Structure formats: C-alpha cells, structure tokens
Amino acid sequence: MIQDFKGKTAVLTGAGSGFGLECARIGAARGMNLVLVDVQQDALERAAAEMTAAGAQVLARRVDVSSAEQMQALATEVKAHFGAPHFVFNNAGVGAGGLVWENTVADWNWVLGVDLWGVIHGVRLFVPMMLEAAAQDPAWRGHITNTASMAGLVAPPNMGIYNTAKAAVVNLTETLYHDLNLVTDQIGASLLCPYFVPTGITHSQRNRPDSQAAATLTRSQQIGQAMTEKAVTSGKVSAEQVAQKVFAAISANQFYVFSHESPRALGNISSRMQNMVEMRNPVDPFIEAPEVGARLRAALRAPAS
C-alpha cells in the first residue's frame, strides 16, 4: 500500500478522459510525477497542459495500448525518465455491443486489443520493473490497478465482445494479485469494476483505427449503443468519485473497487455466483433491475421498421 504519493510516479492509460483524467488530477494534487498515455492526441495535450499547470512533472505520450511495440517503447522511456513507476493504472478502454454472433473480426480485434491486450502489456512490462525496484529497496511500495467492468462479472446480453474482454481482465487481475503475493509484500493490485458512469467510453468509436473500421452497425448494435448511451449518461456516480475510490484502494491495499456499492448493483453479482454454485441455468443478469432486460428484449423482438 502507498500512503505518501508525493514524488511517486504514476503511469495512466486512457489519461485523456474519464477515470484516467480524474486519477491524473488527483495524482497531480498529491505531488506525483505523471506519465499520461492516450491514443487521442488533442485530449492528451489538454490533459498534459492541465497537469503541468498544476505543478506535476509530466511525460505525455500518444500510444496505442494494443501495440506491443508501442507499449515497449513507452515502458523503456518511463524507466529512463522516472525509473520504475509506483502506480500503474491500466485503464484505457473501448466499447462495442450487439448480438455476439453479429460482431466482425475487426470488432473483436479492436475491443480485445485495447481492453485486454492493453492490460496485458501494462502488466508484463511494468511489473518486472516494479519488482526490481522493490528488491533494491525494502521501503519501496507499488500498486497496479486494472480497469475491468461490472460487465465482466455479470455478462449482460448484447455486449458479448466487451463482456469477454472485461471478464478476462477480472481473471487476469485476480491471478496477478495471487502471483504478486507469492513473491512480494511490496506491490499491491486492485480491480476496478465500474457500472454505468459517464466517462466518454460510449463515444470510443472516434478512436477506432482505420485498419479495424466498423461495418454498418447491425440493428442489435444500434439498439445496444442507444441503451448504453442512455444508461451511462444518466449515471449518478461521477468519474471523479470513482477516481477517489481508486486512490483510497491503493492506500488501503483493497482489491475490489466498485463504482456502485448498492444492493441493486452488487445483487446482480451475488445472483450470478449463486447460480453457479447451485448449478442453475443463468438468470437475467439485471435481476435487480429487470426493466433493463425487458426493454432490450422488447426492442430486439419488435419488427424492424
């Protein structure tokens, strides 16, 4: 756990907006050195200017986190510039929906590339660096937070690619936590699982590379996009509040971090786990909010206009 953040270094992917930007603001306020990573150049430049004005030492780099080569170059530069980072926030994410059999190979490559491979690269490149720093100094402390989603825990319909990527991040991060505990007491890990929070992820198509351009959206994708947009923009928990929870978890060495902790949100997880242990078929993943599934079912079964 990290108690004093002043002078420590944070690597934040998806730093141009949402949770990444809000964590950068907290890091700057606490005197951290900031490595800001985003694929959207204008958002990255705005974030870098803001954090520099706040007094932080900033290294801002436009990086496609799905690229092993670009992430390797980033890690090499971070080590040369600041040394091993104390906090790594593998947070960059994109979203895509639709009935799972309708998604194209380009859809799968794009979402898994950012949401899963981005986290994999962050872990495989920065953890060895952090372990080396810990071995050299018994007082050194580090922490890694990976952004998954409630979707990775409850598997909502019409979101198959996103669910798959985020479920993998859940498993990866839980394994990371256990693996770190095998070899060190100096580096912690957290899993961030947001519910519906306004972050800009519903507009992530703006950063989709031309090589993985989307075909015309299917009807299920259009319906899913509209419903997700409505749910996210009406969210009552802000990205700033979630970022505060991220930093609190670092200090407390808390693993699970949920944006929403109400019975309505967490009850969906409990229901799924209970179904598993009792070997029952899956029930509505929105069992605590059945109107969500009802609206989706009605929209998908309605005659096409």
- Measured distance CA(292)–CA(305) in Å, rounded: 22
φ/ψ (deg, to 5) at 68? -60, -40
Cβ proximity of 255 and 236 under 8 Å = no
Look up residue 180 and give its amino acid: L
- Measured distance CA(146)–CA(249) in Å, rounded: 12
162, 177, 195, 256: the active-site residue: 162
- Measured distance CA(64)–CA(211) in Å, rounded: 13
162 catalytic residue (yes or no): yes
Tokens standing for 232?
């996210």
- Measured distance CA(213)–CA(205) in Å, rounded: 9
Burial class, 215, CB count within 10 angstroms (exposed 0-12 / middle 13-18 / buried 19+): exposed
Question: Computed over its alpha carbons, how large is the radius of gyration of the chain?
Answer: 19
3-class SS letters over 81-145:
HHCCCCEEEECCCCCCCECHHHCCHHHHHHHHHHHHHHHHHHHHHHHHHHHHHHHHCCCCCEEEE
- Measured distance CA(266)–CA(3) in Å, rounded: 28
Comparing CA positions, the residue from 264, 287, 265 lying closest to residue 275 is 287
Residues with a known catalytic role: 162
